[in-house]
């Protein structure tokens, strides 16, 4: 399991400061949701946890270890994004194996991990198909499978369901929640959807203009909002 500490992280693009000394402590095994309107800095914060973006200042720690200068590959993270860029010419099995092959994981281990992830996500019948032969929901499941095979203890999700229709989104939400319970690892999940945040999170970080306005349980965020913005954004009762 990995606890994540974000310590006064600052990120600017020219004159625009996107993350304003953001600090956040995510406990091991937590399902933390970063919730906020478009443009508030959610993806930038997630990218900084993954090491995909350089910081102006601040630190990222995993289980107390400073990983700020680690490359993304050295951080052992599973990542799932909104656009599930599967390789169109590869089968599902090849898509799921590819990253492990690049990392020179032994072949038997790759087979075992793909089998494990496929079973967990119930995609075994799809392993020999090409992405073009899959529905949107199935593709998103493969994208999750591709992250799972890394056997990471931290998974990052950036709006993974926003390309799906409403019915599928609700189904996948339940699956992701179950997955978190089965794996017992840390999830950090970005969304602008209040309902998604409320149903998934153990704790919600409500972001606004590069600042975390509140980090608390869904119940607390809803019933005891820390600011007018939080109350307004999550639709708290007046």
Distance between CA atoms of 50 and 64, rounded to whole angstroms?
A: 16
145: its two tokens: 């499978």
Minimum distance from residue 42 beta carbon to Mg ion (Å):
5
Minimum distance from residue 19 beta carbon to ligand ADP (Å):
8
18 binding partner (options ligand ADP, Mg ion, none; Cβ < 5 to 8 Å by kind) = ligand ADP
Distance between CA atoms of 56 and 65, rounded to whole angstroms?
A: 19
Task: Please give the size of the binding site for ligand ADP, defined by CB under 6 A.
Answer: 10
Minimum distance from residue 178 beta carbon to ligand ADP (Å):
26
Residue 52: helix, strand or coil by DSSP?
A: coil
| Residue 48 makes contact with Mg ion by CB under 5 A | no
Contact with Mg ion (CB under 5 A): which of 22, 33, 43, 196?
43
Task: Please give the size of the binding site for Mg ion, defined by CB under 5 A.
Answer: 1
| Residue 18 makes contact with ligand ADP by CB under 6 A | yes
Task: Tell which positions 29-58 bind ligand ADP, by CB under 6 A.
Answer: 36, 38-44
Minimum distance from residue 233 beta carbon to ligand ADP (Å):
12
193: its two tokens: 């959807």
Q: Which of 185, 201, 189 is nearest to 153 (CA)?
A: 185
Alpha helix ranges (H) inside the chain:
42-50, 92-102, 107-121, 136-148, 166-183, 194-200, 218-223, 228-234
Minimum distance from residue 43 beta carbon to Mg ion (Å):
3
Q: Of 53 and 63, which has the nearer Cβ to Mg ion?
A: 53
- Pair 230, 214: CB distance under 8 Å: yes
Q: Which residues bind Mg ion (CB under 5 A)?
A: 43
């Amino acid at each position: 399991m990995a606890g994540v500490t974000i310590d006064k992280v600052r990120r600017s693009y020219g004159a625009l400061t996107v993350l304003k000394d953001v600090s956040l402590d995510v406990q091991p095994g937590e399902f933390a949701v970063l919730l906020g309107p478009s443009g508030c800095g959610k993806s930038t914060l997630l990218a900084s946890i993954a090491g995909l973006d350089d910081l102006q200042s601040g630190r990222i720690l995993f289980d107390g270890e400073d990983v700020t200068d680690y490359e993304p590959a050295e951080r052992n993270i599973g990542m799932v994004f909104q656009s599930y860029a599967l390789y169109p010419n590869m089968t599902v099995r090849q898509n799921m194996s590819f990253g492990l092959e690049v990392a020179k994981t032994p072949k038997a281990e790759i087979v075992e991990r793909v089998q494990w992830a496929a079973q967990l996500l119930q995609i075994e019948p799809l392993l020999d198909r090409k992405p073009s032969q899959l529905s949107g929901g199935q593709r998103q499941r493969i994208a999750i499978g591709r992250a799972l095979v890394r056997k990471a203890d931290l998974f990052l999700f950036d709006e993974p369901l926003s390309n799906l229709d409403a019915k599928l989104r609700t189904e996948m939400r339940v699956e992701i929640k179950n997955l978190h319970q089965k794996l017992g690892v840390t999830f950090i999940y970005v969304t602008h959807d209040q309902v998604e945040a409320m149903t998934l999170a153990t704790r919600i970080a409500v972001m606004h203009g590069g600042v975390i306005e509140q980090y608390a349980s869904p119940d607390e965020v809803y019933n005891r909002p820390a600011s007018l913005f939080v109350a307004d954004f999550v639709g708290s009762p007046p």
